[in-house]
Structure 1
Amino acid sequence: MKLTKGGGMYVASTLLLGVSAVNTGNNLLFLIVAAMLAFMAITGVLGWLNIRGLALSVHLPDEVYAGTDTFLSITLENRKRYLPSFLIRVGVLGGSTSFLLVEKNRPQSGSLLLSFPVRGPLQLAEASISSPFPVNFFVRAASLPIRQECTVFPAPRALPVPAPGGKPDAGESAAIAAAGYDGDLAKISDYRGGEPLKLIHWRLSAKHEEFKVKELTATAAEPLLLDLDLIPGRDLEQRLSFGTFLVNRLVKGGRPVGLKLGERVITPGSTRSHRLKLLTELANYGKN
């Protein structure tokens, strides 16, 4: 319980009137002091009941990166039998969010912004709740267990990415599919000469004066194995940050990527679950 500035003045006034009542024997002062003490007791009980019977659950996104602001979703539920809760503030690791009213069987959702400075496993054991209700004399607080676990990935740092054709990736916002001969149909275009006969669209060409050819996308890029020891960087943390960026950029671009961490080798893959597995390996590297 924390005493606010207004609460301190109220307590000081009550004590001053109490001393005056004792010294003067004035019954009116005794009645005023008794009323003030009764008010303090009633508000204390109401404030205590206000933060009881609450349950809290939190949810972190699948991807949490060190040094990056992350939204933590919070759901607050009132499990008291009758009374609602008012003016509830929830705090987690220095961040906080407020709920004006939490009624029974009507969970309220909110979010707060957190930043985790260090990569690796993270455990959120408990959160704090507090409230100045019913009057801002005392702020009552309690702790609620949340038991939330996640892995904080290394902070990604940009590094030039080699494209399948050997040219450096300049960071375009949209991926451009390379032309090929064995992929999916991309579009129909005019015959320019030099295209293989198998690419000529004979049925469509019969309806036009010029030959029409099928343009196909290139087949999947060659799998890539990233060796952490060969990634440039002044220290391990910077190499892990570069590795995180490379894994995200390449896998999202459709290229199968694997990892070599010392003597351990993780075979290439291109699914989202595989990407998260690689990021988890990078986050936990050297932590055990």
Structure 2
Amino acid sequence: MSATAINPKPPQVAGDWADPGFFSKRLGKGGQFWRLLWLMLVPPEGHRIVPTPAGYVLILVALGLGSAAYNTSSNILFMALSLLLSSLILSGFLSWLNFKGTRWRLRQPPHFRANDPALLQIELSNSKKILPTYSLWFNVTTKETKGVDRVHLEDRLNPGKNIVLDWMFHPLKRGHETIKISGLESQFPFGFLRKTVGGGIKRDVVVLPSRVEYDFEPPGGHHSHIPGETNRRPGAGNELINIRRYHRGDPQRLVHWKASARQKQLVVRQMAEENRDGFVLFMETSKSLWTTEPQFELLCSFVASLAEDLFRDGRLLAVAVNDEPLQPLKRLHDLQNFLEHLAIIETADHYSPSPDTGGRNLITFRPGVGGEVNAIISSTIAGTAQH
């Protein structure tokens, strides 16, 4: 099993296509021309044209030639000046043709995890009928990172073709995160001008707590876990706990046909074993209990990791946080909601624990020595996580 216990899924398309916004399909040819002229005079937000170092040199040379041509009235100098100025104009026109007809959208995985790299994909399409697209790059930013990552189109994109560009996202901590394509840039064709158009894509995502190593040995039975290992105990019950790849000999009635069609391979339902003892997780986030941020973050990671593993083992019945009522965990969707709750939870000042949180299989959490976090069952330490 990978570091992320939730089944990995291929990136999903998030939102519609974005484009440079040069044209509108609802306008006729005349309307498109005047719209393009207006956009050149008043660029939309995120659109700009900046000379490159080579472009600044060209402009300085053009100014020098223009001054010399005016003072000497030399036709040759005026012709040279016209050639330089026309190269700038031609550069801008070809750059506009390069952007025209391009559109893009973001593919993202269904889940993000702190300290776990995630693959995001930018799907780029060239809808032009004749001209290819060259030398583009996307500027991708996130809320937590101060820099800008560039995702390059290294090869030309032929007319009517699509290409997928990969970008590795490294979330640093749990919580809300914003992924933004802040701009699409190009120096095509001569490298004199760097043209930027708005990216048009912004996604707010939730980063789940990271997974941690821990030991867990409840009274009356041994159970320990190290990330990368898992104990699956399928049964013949009615509760769906997971979907896994089909193995020879699996009953045909357990084949999940819709999921098989999505994943393009046979997968089967994995049902929970009935009449098994289970646990209830109770998490308290009192400021007086968790006084340091690193230990509280370890608590969130420990609770998330333990909840996932107990759920996959068919031994997690319900969860509760502070004064919230018990929430039964019967499906993978319930687990995902709980993990997203852990992703944004903060320490609390005052609360009254829920009266439903009790029983011999209740797991609570308390600070340990040296920054450790202990899992408690019936006043006995049953598990420990540490940095």
Band the TM-score falls in, shorter-chain normalisation: 0.7 to 0.9
SS in 1 for 2:301: helix
Larger Rg: 1
1:11 maps to 59
Selected match of 2:205 from 131, 139, 150: 150
SS in 1 for 2:94: helix
Q: How many residues align?
A: 250
Q: Could you say if the C-alpha distance between residues 111 and 265 of structure 1 is closer, same or farther in structure 2, counting changes exceeding 3 Å?
A: farther
Task: Give the residue type in structure 2 aligned to 1:276.
Answer: Q
Q: Could you say if the C-alpha distance between residues 175 and 11 of structure 1 is closer, same or farther in structure 2, counting changes exceeding 3 Å?
A: same
Are 1:255 and 2:315 matched, yes or no? yes
1:273 maps to 333
Counterpart Cα distance in 2 of 1:23 and 1:138: 29
Instruction: Judge conservation of contact 1:56–1:145 (CA < 8 Å) in 2.
Output: no
Counterpart Cα distance in 1 of 2:217 and 2:110: 27
Selected match of 2:175 from 91, 98, 120: 120
Question: Identity over the aligned pairs, expressed in percent?
Answer: 21
1:23 maps to 71
1:189 maps to none
SS in 2 for 1:260: strand
Structure 1 residue 238 displacement after superposition: 2.8
Are 1:85 and 2:143 matched, yes or no? no
Counterpart Cα distance in 2 of 1:45 and 1:176: 62
TM-score by length of 2: 0.57
Selected match of 2:103 from 52, 55, 60: 55
Selected match of 2:166 from 103, 111, 119: 111
Q: Could you say if the C-alpha distance between residues 265 and 73 of structure 1 is closer, same or farther in structure 2, counting changes exceeding 3 Å?
A: farther
2:188 maps to 133
Selected match of 1:222 from 272, 277, 283: 277
TM-score by length of 1: 0.74
Q: Runs of 5+ in structure 2 lacking a partner?
A: 1-48, 142-147, 237-272, 348-387
Q: Runs of 5+ in structure 1 lacking a partner?
A: 185-217
Counterpart Cα distance in 2 of 1:29 and 1:87: 33
2:300 maps to 240
State the superposition RMSD in angstroms: 3.1
SS in 1 for 2:214: coil
Instruction: Judge conservation of contact 1:53–1:80 (CA < 8 Å) in 2.
Output: yes
Structure 1 residue 2 displacement after superposition: 2.9
SS in 2 for 1:244: helix
Structure 1 residue 255 displacement after superposition: 2.8
| Structure with more of its chain in strand, by fraction | 1
Structure 1 residue 220 displacement after superposition: 6.7
Q: Could you say if the C-alpha distance between residues 172 and 132 of structure 1 is closer, same or farther in structure 2, counting changes exceeding 3 Å?
A: closer
Alignment of 1:139-218 (within 5 A): 139-162=194-217, 165-171=220-226, 173-175=228-230
Counterpart Cα distance in 2 of 1:262 and 1:219: 29
1:283 maps to 343
